[in-house]
Structure formats: structure tokens, C-alpha cells
Amino acid sequence: MKAFQKTASFAVLHFCTAFGVAWAMTGSWIIGGAVALVEPAINTIVYFVHEKFWQRREAGVPGVTLTV
């Protein structure tokens, strides 16, 4: 549940940031809104998967490795 709560709070901050940056760059509320919906939505899903990967890695789940 903690991963979901962290993901949700991250999503809210990301939506606001994405809107602000896109609006400041374009001056368009529509483009700002579109960017704020699409990019953070995809990034939030990626963040959730990333968080789950690290939880499994820290728990020592076999088969979860990270090589650099």
C-alpha cells in the first residue's frame, strides 16, 4: 500500500509540474493540459513498476538483478 501512496503523491506533483512547465513554454492552457495528462500518466506507471522492482530487489527475490 505504501508504494501506491507514494505513487499517487508523486503523480499529483508531476501533473502540476508538467502543466506548469508546458504552459510556461507555450502559453497555451490546452497544450499545458494535454502534456500534463499524457506524460505524467505514463511516467507514473513507470515509477510504480520501478518502485516494485526495487522493493523485490531489496527483499532478495531470486531472479531480480540489476547490472550496470
pLDDT of residue 20: 94
pLDDT of residue 3: 77
Mean pLDDT for each consecutive 10-residue tract of the chain (68 residues)?
82 88 95 89 86 86 65
Domain extent, residue 24, equals 2-59
pLDDT of residue 56: 86
Only one residue has cell 493540459, namely 33
d(CA 66, CA 68): 7
Q: Where are the alpha helices (DSSP H) in the chain?
A: 2-26, 29-59
pLDDT of residue 29: 94
The total number of structural domains in the chain stands at 1
Residue 68: inside a domain, yes or no? no
Question: What is the model's pTM?
Answer: 0.58
d(CA 66, CA 17): 30
Residue 7: inside a domain, yes or no? yes
